[in-house]
Amino acid sequence: MGVEVVVEGLSKSFGPQTIWRDVSLNLPQGEISVLLGPSGTGKSVFLKSLVGLLKPDEGKVVINGTDICTCSEKDLYEVRKLFGVLFQDGALFGSMNLYDNIAFPLREHTRKSETEVRNVVLEKMEMVGLIGAEDKLPGEISGGMKKRAGLARALVLDPEILLFDEPDSGLDPVRTAVQNQLIVDLNAQIDATFLIVTHDINTARTVPDNIGMLYRRNLVMFGPREVLLTSDEPVVVQFLNGRPDGPIGMSEEKDTALVEAELAKHGRPQVPAMMPQLEVSPGLPDRSAVHRRKERVLRQLRSLNPTAQEEILKSLTPEELALYGFKSPATGSWPQQQAAPQQQAAPQQQAAPQQFANPQQPPQQFAQQPQQAAPQQPAPQQFAQQQAQPQQAQQQRPSPHPRQQEQEPVWPGGLQADEEPAGGRRRWFGRKRGEQ
């Protein structure tokens, strides 16, 4: 099962440029979370901070009881074993066929025999729908296939946390929909904690259990999907509607008077209707996270805005409503009129009635509210590790400031910046070949 990632008061600047400040959120174990935000708001910087590739100026990232911002290199190395990362272009080795690309972390970091390697590689290739493409070179396949090959490689060492950096970039809407289904199906099969950075609104509306949004150097929201998707916060509504008029502009921040003039001219965009969350494909196991999430979200239900509460309750079956002590919506009696079952409500979530009833609750409160920490689980079995770094992507990103040196990726299975290895090998950091 995936592990919880706890982020507390995280801030990051590059020289005088503040990227974001005081970011706090929990990625609940095994759940799928999405991070949205206009371009340049620091989503990739956030992902890199989670794996310790960038050091935040303040705050904590706690994984399995270890704060990776302050821990030793040795501990950081251990924590990184829990991660799999899918970079935008798949970060494949151009001179290796897909089979060898996917087998690479296993050959470098485990003692598996070639027969065992083959079994794992074919299993992961099947999971991502690439069986039959073993002999293809990255240059011979489509962008979508490259991403799936990168995903298979991210999976071979059984990560407990999987990070996706814009998995839908460059894909057409059909391929994006197929990939979204694949992500949900994978989550059901491996039950790891997923965080997806995306600009794709459809992905945000249909895939995650939780959604957050970075804007103007702050985390405006993070919480159950129903909170952001029913929010009438102008920046959220503009983003979800993909409209040019609103607070987000080319340079991110617009003058308030200009925003008001635009909205007066074009009308205020509506909060789009909720879309149902994607379900697992037939024949696969249920997502365990869905059940855990249900209990977690119902414990914090009373602290959410009324529309979000209503959407959450609508998603429950009559049996679940009865089980958790809510009346059926058919009776017209929503839980605003009911006391939540005593044993379900954590003390901090027993919100004062006026807060509970207040539809104007500013969204910042959701992000700042301490998230309901899932009960501490026993440390899960440490998985062996993997994989490649997005060095090319980092080098291409324009910056008005001199680039800050990112931490040397001392990563089990991580790559040094240098491209293709001489004679088909790159220099890898971390364990030597043959070490377990």
Ligand X SMILES: Nc1ncnc2c1ncn2[C@@H]1O[C@H](COP(=O)(O)OP(=O)(O)OP(=O)(O)O)[C@@H](O)[C@H]1O
* Separation of alpha carbons 317 and 76, rounded Å: 43
Q: Nearest CA to 23 among 394, 372, 364?
A: 364
Nearer to ligand X by C-beta: 4 or 166?
A: 166
3-class secondary-structure state, position 340 = coil
- Report the phi/psi class of residue 429: left, alpha or beta, with left for phi > 0 and alpha for psi in -120 to 50: beta
Nearer to ligand X by C-beta: 215 or 324?
A: 215
Closest separation in Å from C-beta 37 to ligand X = 5
Closest separation in Å from C-beta 165 to ligand X = 8
Closest separation in Å from C-beta 397 to ligand X = 5
Nearer to ligand X by C-beta: 19 or 79?
A: 19
Closest separation in Å from C-beta 252 to ligand X = 10
Nearer to ligand X by C-beta: 251 or 436?
A: 251
Nearer to ligand X by C-beta: 1 or 201?
A: 201
Contact criterion met (CB below 8 Å) for 301 and 350: no
* Separation of alpha carbons 367 and 59, rounded Å: 15
Nearer to ligand X by C-beta: 53 or 186?
A: 53
Closest separation in Å from C-beta 396 to ligand X = 10
| Distance linking the first and last C-alpha atoms of the chain | 21
**What is the gyration radius of the CA atoms in the chain, in angstroms?**
22
Query: What residues make contact with ligand X under the rule CB under 6 A?
Result: 14, 19, 37, 39-45, 397, 399, 401, 403-404, 406
Closest separation in Å from C-beta 77 to ligand X = 21
Nearer to ligand X by C-beta: 158 or 406?
A: 406
The amino acid present at 78, given as its one-letter code, is E
Closest separation in Å from C-beta 364 to ligand X = 19
Closest separation in Å from C-beta 131 to ligand X = 32
* Separation of alpha carbons 180 and 423, rounded Å: 36
Sign of CA dihedral 350, 355, 357, 358: negative
Q: How many CB atoms sit inside 10 A of residue 53's CB?
A: 21
Nearer to ligand X by C-beta: 103 or 197?
A: 197
* Separation of alpha carbons 276 and 429, rounded Å: 43
Q: How many CB atoms sit inside 10 A of residue 283's CB?
A: 6
Q: Which two tokens stand for residue 111?
A: 């003692």
**Residue whose entry in the numeric block shows the structure tokens 């289904």:** 181
Closest separation in Å from C-beta 18 to ligand X = 10
Kindly give the pairing relationship between strand 58-63 and strand 193-197: unpaired
Nearer to ligand X by C-beta: 16 or 332?
A: 16
Q: What does the DSSP assignment read for 231-264?
A: ---HHHHHHHHT-SSSSEETTEE--HHHHHHHHH
